[in-house]
Amino acid sequence: MKETPYNGMDESAYRVAYLIAGFIRRTLTENEHDELDNWVNANDHNMQLFEDLTDEKNLVANLEWMDKVQTEQSYQAMQEKGAFKVPLKKFYNKKIWLAAASVIVLLGLFFVYKYTTSKPGSVEDIVTTDTSLFKPGGNRATLTLADGRVIDLTYAKTGVIEDASGTHVNKTADGELVYVKDSRATNTAALHTLSTPVGGQYQVTLPDGTKVWLNAASTLKFPPAFSDNERKVMLTGEAYFEVAKNQAQPFKVSMADSTDVVVTGTHFNINAYQNEKEQQVTLLEGSVIVSNATNVAKLEPGTKALIKNKLITKTKFWMQKKLQDGKMDYLFFMMHP
Amino acid sequence: MQQEQNDNGNNYALLFQEGNEKALSFFYHELYPALAHYSYQLTLSRPEAEEIASGAFVKAWRMHYKLNSYSGIKAYLYKIVHRDSIEAILGEQRRAKSYRQLTPEIDTETPFDNLVRSEVYRLIHAALKDLPPASRKVMIMHYLDGKTTGEISRELNLHPSTVKTQKKQGLNALKKVFIKPMLWLFYICVKIFLGF
């Protein structure tokens, strides 16, 4: 007999029933008879049950009761009711399972392949503007001071350039301009303008330590001394910023169409040429908030904002290298496609 | 003989597990009366008992893939019938009264008793079901009461030859095994000892 998980009571009940029925039908073997006798004599309860079950009147009554059970009709009625219609589990449909499993595996492989071989954000994403602007550049720029004087930085000697307001501006090297924070400077409304021609580029360190790489045909307007509550500059064209951290003084870059980029210590690039329909703010490190009259977008590293028709859309771009080393490569990419 | 039955039953059990409706029919016809009988011992209502019994088959059929042995299927069905019968009478103050003459001192209504009862009568009923009722009565009287042909014919108002024929039919139906005279004597002794 097969093993069953059911308890011993059932099994012994079946055995006793078999023995008693066999007794009544007189079909027991000698051993079976002994077995029955042992059970009957084991206790009064067993004896009572045996007597009850072998009582003729009981036997007749119970058999008559069972006679009245309309098994076939009941079965037919159940079938017609659809009572036995259940989803049958078929364990032997291995073929179907295998087929389904292999399809799923193949699909999975397909998608993995697709995902790993596509380039999220190709090189074109980084270089966006008309390549004619990116001629091999030289360090050429002009600086317009508050008093209106224009200084051609290309040919200026390295050294201090004095401004009427008393700010010290230092041309430290070819292509580099450094502003020193001067506590004496009072007139914060005055603006300096750094301007690069087509094919030119220049780097300036602002009085707060922020470094700006100005790309070709671009203009950066900034105060030689920042106001206390914010550091505000204006940009047309393209520039790469490395903003010095100062939570108390948010750094704000305004673009011609009054799109603002607010930062708190980050590395990012702004592309906002006036003749282009679209401006872009590309964030490499830190965080910026790009906003205009109608929209706001907060960027995380590796995302950029596209500003077009006053709409700001965020997209991801692919940062090729970790920033410390990669910045110069990145800038190189920007300026020399 | 029990072994043969088991093999056959277990073959059907495997078919049952696979969801074969022939197996469902086999078990239904084999066990339905006994399951209804079992429920009746508790509910004392035939319609309710039959409903519970057929309901048990529906439930067991839903679990067909888990059941793969004759005794497993039978036990599962009895369990369901037991549970559903108890539930049916729980709300009411019905008590399973004894519907047979019994000495009230000893109660033979435990679940074990009820199970044995249903199974005994199932086996007997199955063996006798092909006999006409008259033969059946003759069989019972003869074997249980040890009544002679003469006694039976007087009691049932039948001609002795009729009684004999019916006895013979009954014997054939029961596939009687050769019984030693000693057993018969022992049987009588037991009866004397037990005092009936």
pLDDT for residue B77: 96
CA distance A73 to chain B (A): 10
pLDDT for residue B54: 96
Tell which A residues from 208 to 267 touch B, by Cβ distance under 8 Å.
Answer: none
CA distance A2 to chain B (A): 6
Among A17, A56, A71, the residue with its CB nearest the CB of B145 is A56
A93 in contact with chain B, both atoms CB, cutoff 8 A: no
Mean pLDDT value of segment B48-72: 93
Q: How many CB atoms lie within 10 A of CB B38?
A: 28
User: What's the CATH class of domain A124-335?
Assistant: mainly beta
Domain residue extents for chain B = 2-90, 131-194
Please tell us whether the domain made up of B131-194 is placed in CATH 1.10.10.
yes
User: Would residue B19 be called left, alpha or beta, if left means φ above 0 and alpha means ψ between -120 and 50 degrees?
Assistant: left
Q: Which amino acid is at A139?
A: N
pLDDT for residue A76: 92
Among A10, A57, A68, the residue with its CB nearest the CB of B75 is A10
pLDDT for residue A321: 47
* Cβ-defined contact of A63 to B121 (cutoff 8 Å): yes
CB < 8 Å to A90, chain B: 18-19
Tell which A residues from 10 to 39 touch B, by Cβ distance under 8 Å.
Answer: 10-14, 16-18, 20-21, 24-30, 33, 37
The three-class DSSP label of residue B100 is coil
Indicate the helix (H) or strand (E) that contains A269: strand A267-272
B45 by Cβ neighbours in 10 Å (0-12 / 13-18 / 19+) ranks as middle
Instruction: Tell me the sheet residues that pair with A171.
Output: A159, A177
Angstrom distance (rounded) from CA A54 to CA A20: 8
CA distance B34 to chain A (A): 7
Q: Helices B111-128 and A56-67 sit at what angle, rounded to 10 degrees?
A: 70
Mean pLDDT value of segment B65-84: 93
* Cβ-defined contact of A13 to B119 (cutoff 8 Å): yes
Per-residue confidence band for B116, with pLDDT thresholds at 50, 70 and 90: very high
User: At residue B62, does pLDDT exceed 70?
Assistant: yes
* Cβ-defined contact of A71 to B76 (cutoff 8 Å): no
User: At residue B185, does pLDDT exceed 70?
Assistant: no
CA distance B91 to chain A (A): 26
State the Rg of chain B over Cα.
20
Angstrom distance (rounded) from CA B61 to CA A295: 64
| Integer angstrom CA distances of residue A297 from A283, A289, A305 | 12, 6, 7
pLDDT for residue B48: 94
The three-class DSSP label of residue A120 is coil
Question: Whole-model pTM?
Answer: 0.46
Q: Which residue has the tokens 């019916």?
A: B166
CA distance A99 to chain B (A): 22
Mean pLDDT value of segment B105-134: 82
User: At residue B178, does pLDDT exceed 50?
Assistant: no
Residues of chain A short of pLDDT 70, as ranges, are: 1-7, 86-95, 117-137, 163-167, 182-189, 264-265, 318-337
pLDDT for residue B103: 39
User: At residue B94, does pLDDT exceed 60?
Assistant: no
A187, A197 contact by CB (below 8 A): no
pLDDT for residue A317: 75
Which CATH topology does B2-90 take? Rna Polymerase Sigma Factor; Chain: A (1.10.1740)
CB < 8 Å to A75, chain B: 25, 28-29, 32
DSSP secondary structure letter of residue B91? S
> Bigger pLDDT: B132 or A311?
A311
Helices and strands in chain B: count of H runs, count of E runs? 9, 0
User: Which sign, positive or negative, has the C-alpha torsion B147, A33, A14, B112?
Assistant: positive
Among A2, A54, A91, the residue with its CB nearest the CB of B65 is A91
Instruction: Tell me the sheet residues that pair with A213.
Output: A203, A240
pLDDT for residue A183: 63
The three-class DSSP label of residue A172 is strand
Per-residue confidence band for B171, with pLDDT thresholds at 50, 70 and 90: low
Mean pLDDT value of segment B104-130: 83
Among B54, B57, B124, the residue with its CB nearest the CB of A24 is B124
Angstrom distance (rounded) from CA A62 to CA B34: 10
pLDDT for residue A148: 83
Q: What are phi and psi of B180, to 5 degrees?
A: -70, 145
pLDDT for residue A184: 62
Among A2, A14, A53, the residue with its CB nearest the CB of B117 is A53
Which one of A57-61, B48-52, B63-67 scores highest in mean pLDDT? Answer: B48-52
Q: Helices B70-90 and B111-128 sit at what angle, rounded to 10 degrees?
A: 120
A296, A312 contact by CB (below 8 A): yes
Q: Mean pLDDT over all residues of chain B?
A: 79
User: Which sign, positive or negative, has the C-alpha torsion B57, B62, B64, B69?
Assistant: negative
Percent pLDDT > 70 in chain B is 69
| Integer angstrom CA distances of residue B29 from A60, A74, B32 | 21, 10, 6
DSSP assignment string, A135-157: SS-BS--EEE-TTS-EEETTTPP
State the Rg of chain A over Cα.
45
